[in-house]
Amino acid sequence: MRLTRFSDYAVRVMLFLAAHPDRLCSIGEIASAYEISQNHLMKVVSDLAAHGYILSSRGRSGGIRLGMPAGEINIGKLIRHTEGQIDLVGCAECKLAGACRLPGPLDLALDAFFAVLERYSLADVLGDDAGSRLLGRLGPPHD
């Protein structure tokens, strides 16, 4: 299974914010750190804010931060949210629909995939030395 770019960016935003729990971060700063489109991140951030994963404040001293502690953010639930309805091979449009038994095993495989991800929180995937490892790769914070 391959995650969408939207999910990829959502996880990146969440990891960045988890590594900077003591301050507000900007979309521009995150885009620059990961060398990705600020316009794409704006859509991701808007969705994450609308669903409570992050909090945002506007204005000159505004920014974004996690909406809850990293240990309370379930990676599996986050990715289920960002991926939406997943149809691994497009069975709904297939001429064999109803006659083929592949959808059952695919559904079981997808459930197993998410069952593993749901064992982990954002804090788990960031690790104990999150700040130093992530910041070392992305460079110093921007003020």
Tens digit of each residue's pLDDT (9 = 90 or more) over 123-138: 999 876 655 555 555 5
Instruction: Name every residue whose Cβ is closer than 8 Å to that of residue 134 and which is 6 or more positions away in sequence.
Output: 15, 16, 19, 126
Q: What pLDDT sits at residue 100?
A: 81
Instruction: Say whether pLDDT at 30 is over 90.
Output: yes
Alpha-carbon distance values, 14 to 7, 50, 100, 107, 142 (Å): 11, 14, 39, 27, 17
Banded model confidence at residue 41, pLDDT cuts 50, 70, 90: very high
For the chain, helix, strand, coil in percent to 5 are 55, 10, 35
Computed over every residue of the chain, the mean pLDDT equals 86
- How distant, in Å, are the alpha carbons of 29, 32, 55, 111, 126 from that of 36? 10, 7, 21, 30, 20
Is the Cβ–Cβ distance between 57 and 24 less than 8 Å? Answer: yes
45/129: higher pLDDT = 45
pLDDT for the residue 141: 47
What is the rounded average pLDDT of the residues 11-27?
93
3: amino acid identity, one letter? L
User: What CATH architecture is 5-138?
Assistant: Orthogonal Bundle (1.10)
Beta carbons of 66 and 53 less than 8 angstroms apart: yes
pLDDT for 133 equals 56
The pTM for the full model equals 0.83
Rounded average pLDDT over 21-25: 92
- The whole-number average pLDDT for the span 18-45 is 93
**Does position 18 have pLDDT exceeding 90, yes or no?**
yes
